[in-house]
Amino acid sequence: MKVDLLVVNAGQLLTLAAPAPRRGADMADLGLLRGGAVAVHEGRIVAAGLQDEVRSRYEAERQFDAGGRVVMPAFVDPHTHVLYGGGRIAEFELRLKGAGYQEIMASGGGIMSTVRATRAASDEALLGESARRLARMRAQGTATAEVKSGYGLSVEAELRMLRLTPALAERTGMRLVPTFLGAHAVPAEYAGRAEAYVDLVVEEMLPHVVGLAEYCDVFCDEGAFTLEETARVLRRAKELGLGVKLHADEFAALGATELAVELGAASADHLMVTPDAARARLAQSSTAAVLLPGTSFGLKSGRYADGRAWVDAGAIVALASDCNPGTAPNESLPFTIALACRMMGLTPAEAVVAATLNAAYAIGRAGEVGSLAPGKAADLVILDAEDYRELAYRFGSNLVWQTVVGGNAA
Ligand code: NIG
Ligand code: FE
């Protein structure tokens, strides 16, 4: 059969062919073949297998020689705040001198300073700055990313962020999944009136978000939204047909993880201070545990989510960058993997599954991306390495030699 493209000479081909989501021992199953090839037609994978078999069945005008390198699914980043204006370098320096993240937030900086910069930026400026960040993410292997709103915090400014997300996808050639995070912080105009702001989110924002966002997320934490406020927003979101997600247990364990299970959330994210009993409940559910080691690193915190315990408990563990201007100006899933192995106890194979197939599951894309299975999008990464474990071992260099999205290299 004739196809558009054959990627040949993969020294290691990681197909991740077994079904998603992965838990426990299955998280280490990479479907690794030595000497592999991938056949691609009309942007989709037709076959991924041993080179001799694939080559005997498929012919292509275009061949891409991987030269013995690793070929694997492109990364999926299931938690980002990559769309924003301005930066927080001054705040970073304050934190280097000892100021706390929540302290800065309480004094009107932090998220609110990005809200001011985002509101003030033109559409073009927002798109331009964010597209540059996404281009760097793509250069490090990310083809699909979730993108949260949450730096608008007014009806118009939140809807603008969601409307700009498809334009950003178009500009970068990446697959972006929009999430509404109107409950990210109580904006200055509503200081001391959190309930009135939650009314605005529930009554004025959410109905307009339908059709623009796939998920609704809430930052449930000390200094952000209470468990009751979170439940109110997410219950309404569910009624309107949105998927739900939570920023849970980042600084304080308020019960957000249990709420995620109760609501059948797609994911609970952060989980840095989750109590054992809550971990056990989430691990038995179909809600993914999205871990963000770049955030702990960015906060200079010694406190990382216990990735080993999450995998051993049987949770659907995924990894994400949390790319945001405050806690994690992190554009690299390879660096996130390197951290997850050192600081959270994951093995390189588990970290790869967490940043591809399980990450896709966490944003409802496991049928489309995250593994090299026939019918899925031809999103793959070629590493300038002969062993996939280099991804975890090396850090500070970019091992991604090529990111292919829908059969096209950048
Ligand atoms: O995931 N925790 C809340 N939101 C982000 C930080 C956003 C910011 O500081 O701008 C996070 O860490
Ligand atoms: Fe976040």
What does the pLDDT look like over 250-263, one tens digit per residue?
999 999 999 999 99
Q: Specify the pLDDT at position 107.
A: 86
What residue type is 67 in one-letter code? G
For residue 91, give every residue at least 6 positions away whose Cβ sits within 8 Å of its Cβ, in sequence order, or none.
99, 104, 109, 110, 113, 326
The CA 65 to ligand 2 mean position distance, Å, reads 38
Cis, bond preceding 21 (omega within 30 deg of 0): yes
Closest atom of ligand 1 relative to the 181 alpha carbon = 4
Q: How confident is the model over 300-319, as pLDDT tens digits?
A: 998 999 999 999 999 999 99
Assigned token pair, 239? 């009624």
Ligand 1: residue of 269, 322, 323 to mutate (most ligand atoms within 8 A of CB) is 322
* Beta strand segments in 106-148, E: 142-148
Compute how many other C-beta atoms are within 10 angstroms of the C-beta atom of residue 24. Answer: 15
Tokens of 389: 């474990």
Rounded CA-CA distance 21/180 in Å is: 24
pTM score above 0.95 = yes
Q: Which two tokens stand for residue 387?
A: 């062993």
| pLDDT value of residue 407 | 95
Residue 81 backbone dihedrals phi, psi, to 5 degrees: -120, 50
Residue 65: band (very low, low, confident or very high) from pLDDT cuts 50, 70, 90: very high
What's the pLDDT at 154?
98
* Euclidean distance between CA atoms 317 and 292, whole angstroms: 11
Which ligand number lies closest to the CA of residue 118?
1
Residue of minimum CA distance from atom 3 in ligand 1:
219
pLDDT for 108: 86
Atom of ligand 1 nearest to the CA of 250: 2
Q: How confident is the model at residue 151 (pLDDT cuts 50, 70, 90)?
A: very high
Ion ligand 2: protein residues whose beta carbon lies under 5 Å: 322
Closest ligand 1 atom to 269 CA? 1
The residue nearest atom 12 of ligand 1, judged by CA position, is 327
Distance 250 CA to ligand 2 centre (A): 9
Q: How far is the CA of 256 from the centre of ligand 2 (A)?
A: 14
Closest residue by Cα to residue 245 from 369, 147, 374, 127: 147
Please give the share of the chain, as a percent, with pLDDT higher than 90: 97
Question: What distance in angstroms lies between residue 150's CA and the mean position of ligand 2's atoms?
Answer: 10
Q: What is the 3-state secondary structure (H, E, C) of 247-309?
A: EECCCCCCCHHHHHHHHCCCEEEECCCCCHHHHHHHHCCCCEEEECHHHHHHCCCCCCCCHHH
DSSP string computed for 156-208: HHHHHHHHHHHHHHHHHT-EEEEEEEEETS--GGGTT-HHHHHHIIIIIIHHH
| DSSP string computed for 35-62 | EEEEEEETTEEEEEEEHHHHHHH-EEEE
Q: Among candidates 203, 198, 179, which has minimal Cα distance to 187? A: 198
Q: Identical fold at 2-74+370-409 and 76-362?
A: no
CB 358 within 8 A of CB 398: no
Q: Are 60 and 39 in contact (CB under 8 A)?
A: yes
Whether 22 shows a pLDDT value over 90: the answer reads yes
Phi, then psi, of 116 in degrees rounded to 5: -60, -45
Ligand 1: nearest atom to the Cα of 247: 2
Distance 326 CA to ligand 1 centre (A): 6
pLDDT the model gives residue 46: 98
Separation of alpha carbons 173 and 167, rounded Å? 10
Task: For residue 275, give Cα distances in angstroms to 59, 91, 135, 257, 394.
Answer: 54, 31, 37, 9, 32
Domain boundaries, the chain: 2-74+370-409, 76-362
Indicate the SS3 state at residue 409.
strand
Pocket of ligand 1 (CB under 6 A): 81, 110-111, 114, 219, 247, 250, 295, 322, 324-327
- What pLDDT, on the 0 to 100 scale, is given for residue 409? 87
CATH for the 2-74+370-409 domain, from 3.30.70.270, 2.160.10.10, 3.40.50.300, 2.30.40.10: 2.30.40.10
- Token couple for 102: 């929540």
CA of 86 to the centre of ligand 2 (A): 17
- Cα gap 50→11, rounded to integer Å: 10
Distance CA 295, CA 303 (A): 10
Query: If you average pLDDT over residues 158-169, what whole number do you get?
Result: 98
> Residue 37: pLDDT above 90?
yes
Give residue-wise pLDDT tens across range 377-410: 999 999 999 999 999 999 999 999 999 999 998 7
Q: Relative to the alpha carbon of 153, which ligand is closest?
A: 1
Ligand 1 pocket: which of 119, 219, 230 to mutate (most atoms within 8 A of CB): 219
127 CA to centre of ligand 1 in angstroms: 20
Closest-approaching ligand to the CA atom of 79: 2
CA of 369 to the centre of ligand 1 (A): 26
CA of 166 relative to ligand 1 center, distance in Å: 22
Sign of the Cα torsion 80, 82, 88, 89 reads: positive
Q: Mean pLDDT score of the chain, rounded to an integer?
A: 97
pLDDT at residue 106 greater than cutoff 90: no
Structural element, H or E, at residue 404? strand 400-405
Cα separation, 369 vs 360, in Å, equals 6
- Across residues 325-340, what is the average pLDDT? 98
* CB < 8 Å & 24+ apart, contacts of 164-171: 164/83, 164/123, 164/126, 164/127, 164/130, 165/83, 165/212, 167/123, 167/127, 168/83, 168/127, 168/130, 168/131, 168/134, 171/127, 171/131
- Determine the CATH number of domain 76-362: 3.20.20.140
